[in-house]
Amino acid sequence: MSRRVAIIETPRLILGTWIKADRDLFREINADPKVMEFFPFRRSYEEADAFLDKLNGMITEDGRGFFAVVLKETQEPVGFCGLSHPNLPGIFSDDTIEIGWRLATRFWGNGYVTEAASALLDQTFARRNVDCVVSFAVEKNHRSTNVMKRLGMRRRQEMDFSHPRIPDTYPHLKRHVVYTISKDEWQARRPA
Identify the burial level of 48 via C-beta atoms within 10 angstroms of its C-beta, where 0-12 means exposed, 13-18 middle and 19 or more buried: buried
Which one has a higher pLDDT value, 58 or 173? 173
Q: What is the pLDDT of residue 116?
A: 98
Question: Quick one: average pLDDT of 70-75?
Answer: 96
Q: What angle do CA 29, 111, 113 make, to 5 degrees?
A: 50
The 10s digit of each residue's pLDDT in 89-110 is 999 999 999 999 999 999 999 9
Q: What is the pLDDT of residue 127?
A: 87
Q: Does residue 182 register a pLDDT over 80?
A: yes
Q: Give Cβ neighbours of residue 182 (< 8 Å, ≥ 6 apart).
A: 131, 132
Of the chain, the end-to-end C-alpha distance in Å amounts to: 38
Q: What is the pLDDT of residue 133?
A: 98
Domains and CATH numbers, the chain: 6-189 (3.40.630.30)
Q: What is the pLDDT of residue 93?
A: 94
Distance CA 131, CA 187 (A): 11
Confidence band, pLDDT 50/70/90 cuts, at residue 1: low
Q: What is the pLDDT of residue 48?
A: 95
Query: Residue 30, by phi and psi: left (phi above 0), alpha (psi -120 to 50) or beta?
Result: alpha
Distance CA 109, CA 82 (A): 19
Query: How many helices, marked H, and strands, marked E, lie in the chain?
Result: 6, 9
Cβ 55 vs Cβ 66: under 8 Å: yes
Q: Give percent above pLDDT 70 in the chain.
A: 98
Q: Does residue 27 register a pLDDT over 70?
A: yes
Q: 51: closest CA among 73, 38, 72, 36?
A: 36
Distance CA 188, CA 46 (A): 44
Confidence band, pLDDT 50/70/90 cuts, at residue 185: very high
Q: What is the pLDDT of residue 79?
A: 97
